[in-house]
């Protein structure tokens, strides 16, 4: 079988490519970054290195790659594909939609075999977002074809996937742990294979929310609090007890939401949180604040990992004091190499904090005032973030 995967970056190679390879797929990677396309074609594969004691490596073969602007080749690849997957970053889904749509339309001129499309991005319902972008490209007749033959299947993926350069080659570097959860209820009824080594569920919401509001929430909290105190890596931040305290408090607050909303067992959640913290603090990892804190406007948006859970807690009348601290710290994130961080700081120079927080995070009322007050406070004196009964 053949998969066409958009995005040959860290998780594309370090998780999706590897799992599909273990499912006997040949993979065509599609990317905008020519050097990785060239490398994959030169080697007909790539190396994955595990972050374990022996630094075990595995070579993933049956690989080739194309550039996304090579539309004729993309059409050929999608013509014979059994599965389409992505991991390009949420903000790039709209950018891949036109080429993907064009190639699928051509496929359906000759081949009406149904196909599943799985967008694997850190956002709630990434495939549904991609579907929206694809359908914007379609006229009424094509929509009917796509309704019949394409299923957009939401997923949640979890693995800390980095990469390193060795002898001018990019090697995927991953923790052994991973989770790839797929919404079975969206799987096309006439596609007769299932993937192994993944988890199928019938309801996606609790899983993607748990991933985003615990795993990614913790990560982002470490990144933005760490940046405030001039740290370089997540592992370095986790050595600071007062910061660890705030993040633990934030996760304990978020845990309450899961208990209330999904009646998930408290002890099970506590184990999940401890396991997350252990994974993120893995001393063999060196995960930069710059990577984990990338795109702060996305991470501060209304349904994402920081504001999403805090809004829900506020609506339920549950304590969210640590969440407010983390959001305020995120608003102070500045990094000249990150376009969104630059844009965020520019906004804060041009407008009042109240109006920026309201526009970027969609907050209003008391919660908006709480975040703004904390932002102003720690902007004057960052040590104040450790005051005020912040430990949940
Ligand atoms: N790295 C992780 O640990 C991890 C874990 C879980 C989920 N994710 C999610 O997976 C996605 C990818 O993350 P990553 O860490 O692999 O990022 P990355 O930057 O390493 O990889 C993204 C790849 O997509 C390519 N790309 C960008 N725009 C494109 C376009 N228009 N067409 C084709 N290719 C394009 C880039 O060139 C790059 O190779 C993100 O949504 C991220 O949130 C990452
Ligand atoms: O990829 P982002 O920018 O949404 O978030 C950065 C990290 O938190 C993320 O990549 C994690 O490492 C990953 O989601 C772990 O599964």
Write out pLDDT tens, residues 62-87.
Answer: 999 999 999 999 999 999 999 999 99
In a domain, 26, yes or no: yes
Residue 253 lies in a domain: yes
The answer on pLDDT for 388 being more than 90 is: no
Residue 148 is assigned to a structural domain of this protein:
yes
- Do 184 and 296 share a domain, yes or no? no
Residue 273 lies in a domain: yes
Q: Is residue 279 within 6 Å of ligand 2 at its C-beta?
A: no
CA distances from 67 to 4, 8, 62, 84, 89 (A): 12, 10, 17, 16, 17
Same domain, 99 and 190: yes
Q: Mark whether 157 and 213 lie in a shared domain.
A: no
Residues 159 and 211 in one domain: no
Using the predicted structure, report yes or no on whether residue 284 has a pLDDT greater than 60. yes
Rg (CA), the chain: 21
Q: pLDDT digit string (tens) for 241-282?
A: 999 999 999 999 999 999 999 999 999 999 999 999 999 999
Residues 146 and 254 in one domain: no
Which ipTM did the prediction report? 0.99
Q: Which of 54-58, 160-164, 388-392 has the lowest mean pLDDT?
A: 388-392
Last residue of a domain, one of 201, 220, 237: 201
Number of domains the chain contains:
2
Q: Are 210 and 153 in a shared domain?
A: no
Instruction: Say how many Å lie between the CA of residue 373 and the centre of ligand 1.
Output: 35
- HSE at residue 70, side-chain half, CA atoms within 13 A, is 17
Residues 171 and 257 in one domain: no
If asked whether residues 196 and 250 sit together in one domain, one would say no
Mutate to test the pocket of ligand 2, among 119, 157, 207, 216 (most ligand atoms within 8 A of CB): 216
pLDDT, position 389: 57
Query: Is the same domain home to 187 and 153?
Result: yes
Report the percentage of the chain scoring pLDDT > 70: 99
Claim to verify: residue 152 and residue 218 sit in the same structural domain: no
Judge contact between 14 and 35, C-beta under 8 A.
Answer: no
Quick: pLDDT tens for 170-219. 999 999 999 999 999 999 999 999 999 999 999 999 999 999 999 999 99
Other C-beta atoms lying within 10 Å of the C-beta of residue 155: 27
Is 95 inside any structural domain? Answer: yes
pLDDT of 294 above 90: yes
> How long, in residues, is the chain?
392
Q: Are residues 89 and 189 in the same domain?
A: yes
Residue the block writes with tokens 């982002």: 220
Which structural domain, as residue segments, surrounds residue 264?
205-386
312 lines ligand 2 (CB under 6 A): no
What does the alpha-carbon distance between residue 2 and residue 4 come to, in Å, rounded to a whole number?
7
User: Order of strands, edge to edge, in the sheet holding 2-6?
Assistant: 63-67, 26-31, 2-6, 83-86, 115-119, 150-152
Q: In angstroms, what CA-CA distances link 387 with 217, 250, 312, 323, 324?
A: 21, 15, 24, 14, 13
Token pair recorded at residue 126: 């990434």
* Residue at 392 is within a domain: no
160 C-beta closer than 6 A to ligand 2: yes
Using pLDDT thresholds of 50, 70 and 90, give the confidence band for residue 391.
very low
Q: Which of 170, 201, 232 is the last residue of a domain?
A: 201
Task: Name the residue at shortest CA distance from atom 25 of ligand 1.
Answer: 7
- Answer whether residue 391 is part of any domain: no
Q: Is 55 left (phi over 0), alpha (psi -120 to 50) or beta?
A: left
Residue 112's pLDDT is what? 87
For 201, the token pair is 């569920």
Cα 208 to ligand 1 centre (Å) = 18
> From ligand 1's centre to the CA of 161, what distance in Å?
10
Q: Measured in angstroms, how far is the CA atom of residue 190 from the centroid of ligand 2?
A: 33
For the CA of 123, the closest atom of ligand 2 is: 4
What confidence tens digit (pLDDT) does each residue in 320-366 have? Answer: 999 999 999 999 999 999 999 999 999 999 999 999 999 999 999 99
Give the distance, in angstroms, between the CA of residue 147 and the centroid of all CA atoms in the same chain.
27
The answer to whether residues 155 and 268 belong to one domain is no
- Does the Cβ of 175 fall within 6 Å of ligand 2? no
pLDDT band, very low/low/confident/very high, at 392 (cuts 50, 70, 90): very low
75 neighbors 108 (Cβ within 8 angstroms): no
CATH of the domain at 296: 1.10.1040.10
The CATH number assigned to the domain holding 87 equals: 3.40.50.720
Instruction: Tell me the pLDDT tens digit for each residue of 13-35.
Output: 999 999 999 999 999 999 999 99
* Residue 269 resides in a domain: yes
- Kindly tell me if the per-residue pLDDT of 379 is higher than 70: yes
Q: How far is the CA of 199 from the centre of ligand 2 (A)?
A: 19
SS (H, E, C) the chain: CEEEEECCCHHHHHHHHHHHHHCCCEEEEEECCHHHHHHHHHHCEEEEEECCCCCCEEEEECEEEEECCCHHHHHHHHHCCCEEEECCCHHHHHHHHHHHHHHHHHHHHHCCCCEEEEECCCCCCHHHHHHHHHHCCCCHHHHHHHHHHEEECCEEEECCEEEEEECCEEEEEECCCCEEEEEHHHCCCCCCCCCCCCEEECCCHHHHHHHHHHHHHHHHHHHHHHHHCCCCEHHHHCCCHHHHHHHHHHHHHHHHHHHHHHCCCHHHHHHHHHHHHHHHCCCCCCCEHHHHCCCHHHHCCCCCCCHHHHHHHHHHCCCCHHHHHHHHHHHCCCCCCCHHHHHHHHHHHHCCHHHHHHHHHCCCHHHHHHHHHHHHHHHHCHHHHHCCCCCC
What whole-number distance in Å separates Cα of residue 362 and Cα of residue 357?
A: 7
Which of 182, 201, 220 represents a domain boundary (last residue)?
201
């Amino acid at each position: 079988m053949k998969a066409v995967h958009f995005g040959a970056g860290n998780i594309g190679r370090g998780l999706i490519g590897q799992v599909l390879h273990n499912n006997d797929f040949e993979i065509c990677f599609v990317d905008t970054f020519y050097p990785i396309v060239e490398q994959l074609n030169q080697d007909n594969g790539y190396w994955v290195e595990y972050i374990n004691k022996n630094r075990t490596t595995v070579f993933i073969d049956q690989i080739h790659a194309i550039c996304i602007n090579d539309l004729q080749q993309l059409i050929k690849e999608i013509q014979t594909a059994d599965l389409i997957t992505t991991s390009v970053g949420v903000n790039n889904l709209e950018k891949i939609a036109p080429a993907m749509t064009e190639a699928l339309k051509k496929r359906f001129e000759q081949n009406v075999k149904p196909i599943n499309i799985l967008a694997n991005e850190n956002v709630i319902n990434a495939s549904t977002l991609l579907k929206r972008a694809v359908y914007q490209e379609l006229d009424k007749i094509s929509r009917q074809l796509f309704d019949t033959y394409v299923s957009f299947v939401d997923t949640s993926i979890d693995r800390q996937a980095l990469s390193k350069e060795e002898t001018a080659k990019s090697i995927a570097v991953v923790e052994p742990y991973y989770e790839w959860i797929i919404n079975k209820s969206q799987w096309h009824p006439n596609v007769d294979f299932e993937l192994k080594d993944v988890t199928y569920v019938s309801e996606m919401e609790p899983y993607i929310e748990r991933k985003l509001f615990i795993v990614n929430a913790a990560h982002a909290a470490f990144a933005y609090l760490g940046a405030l105190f001039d740290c370089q890596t997540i592992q370095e931040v986790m050595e600071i007890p007062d910061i660890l305290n705030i993040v633990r408090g934030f996760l304990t607050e978020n845990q309450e939401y899961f208990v209330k909303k999904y009646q998930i067992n408290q002890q099970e959640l506590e184990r999940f949180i401890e396991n997350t913290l252990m994974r993120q603090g893995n001393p063999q990892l060196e995960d930069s604040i710059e990577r984990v804190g990338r795109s702060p406007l996305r991470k501060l948006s209304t349904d994402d990992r920081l504001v999403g859970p805090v809004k829900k807690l506020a609506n339920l009348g549950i304590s969210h004091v640590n969440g407010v601290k983390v959001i305020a710290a995120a608003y102070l994130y500045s990094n000249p190499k990150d376009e969104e961080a630059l844009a965020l700081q520019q906004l804060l120079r041009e407008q009042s904090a109240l109006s920026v927080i309201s526009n970027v995070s969609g907050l209003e009322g008391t919660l908006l005032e709480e975040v703004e007050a904390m932002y102003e406070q720690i902007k004057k004196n960052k040590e104040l973030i450790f005051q005020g009964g912040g430990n949940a």
